[in-house]
Amino acid sequence: MKSVVLGMSGGVDSSVSAIILKESGYNVIGVTMELIPNDGKASNDAKAVCEKLGIEHHVIDLKSMFKDRVINKFIEEYQNCKTPNPCIYCNKYLKFGAMYEFAKSIGAEYIATGHYAKVEYSKKYGKKIIKKSDAGKKDQTYVLCTIDSEVVEHIIFPLSDFKSKEEIREIAKKYNLDVANKPDSEDICFIPDNDYISFLEKNNIKGMKHGKIVDTKGTVLGKHQGLHRYTIGQRRGMGVSSSTPLYVINLNKQKNELVVGKQDELFTDTVVVKDANCILFDKFENGMKAKAKVRYLAPEEEAEIFVNDDQTLTVKFNNKIRAITPGQAIAFYIDDVLVGGGIIA
């Protein structure tokens, strides 16, 4: 019997994943990663599910790593006028990093999570690949685009064939799990009230002083309240009146200026990508054609990828894209196969 370490958050997705894996004949070892202080409820909920299903459960204290790799990175990116996606870093370093190392340390062959994604062997590519799930808009391959390629051979996604959350909840109800009706977590886990501005200010984000609001020609239009309060594409909440709608075009850290302009100034067909990570191939090739997704709910866009001397990528889109935001991840696909991704510079 092969062993699989399953990341269990105490939610319905990971709980049903445990059921599916056990019914498939695996020796399931539930693992809850403690990421933030006073988060005992997640561990308790996961433990209760494991006890009910008769599977082993471990709690791993990863608060220090989470603070260093995710929370501090989140603050640092905002300080540099970026808009980060913390799930990207959590997946790379913790769920598919530290948990994978834990699995190896106890001799488990696989790790599993409740992500809506697929891993399967591809004859075309001669290896296991990550593919989009059948869950449509709930597909989560986008947030997996920076994980290490070596881990793919050892991943199982038990929910890969499900199309809706209701199917998952029905299984949980069938097994009388208390988490069957537990609501989905929509907020950033370390900012439960979703007030990221207060979080940044409580954590003494540096250098975020009031400054000028200017248009793209440099004309001063007003004063901003700190660049961490704004994001590319934002229309409301700037305190500037105009005969035509104005949008945030750029956050100029050097001049501490909020640059605003008309909607058509938000569109671009070129973006530079740092921390490039290729999962499907050994590396990105110059001129590679792929579809690119610039945020979680964005549509995929046809693009061409070029490798720069410093190993960043320049991505040229066939069409101009609205409000591409530095700090967000970009994921690349060939058909429904995840190629890899990186961070928009």
Expressed in angstroms, the distance from the first to the final Cα of the chain is 45
Given a contact cutoff of 8 angstroms between Cβ atoms, the answer to whether 198 and 205 are in contact is no
Q: What is the dihedral of CA 87, 150, 294, 269, to 10 degrees?
A: 150
Instruction: With beta carbons less than 8 A apart as the criterion, state whether 322 and 233 touch.
Output: yes
Burial label for 253, CB within 10 Å (0-12, 13-18, 19+), is middle
Q: Give me the phi and psi of 279, to 5 degrees please.
A: -100, -40
Alpha carbon of residue 312 to chain centroid: 20
The H or E element containing residue 79 is helix 72-79
Cα dihedral: 199, 205, 207, 209 (round 10): 20
- Look up 81 and say whether it is catalytic: no
Q: DSSP string covering 246-298, please? A: -EEEEEETTTTEEEEE-GGGGEEEEEEEEEEEESSSSSPPTTEEEEEESSTTS
* Per-residue buried b or exposed e for 17-51, using 16+ beta carbons within 10 Å of the residue's own CB: bbbbbbeeebebbbbbbbbbeebeebbebbbbbbe
Radius of gyration of the chain (CA): 22
Pick the catalytic residue from 50, 81, 87, 90: 90
Q: Are 4 and 156 in contact (CB under 8 A)?
A: yes
Cβ contacts of 150 within 8 Å, gap of 6 or more: none
For residue 274, the cross-strand partners are: 343
Is 90 among the residues known to form the active site?
yes
Separation CA 325–CA 45 (nearest Å): 36
Which residues are known to be catalytic? 90, 189
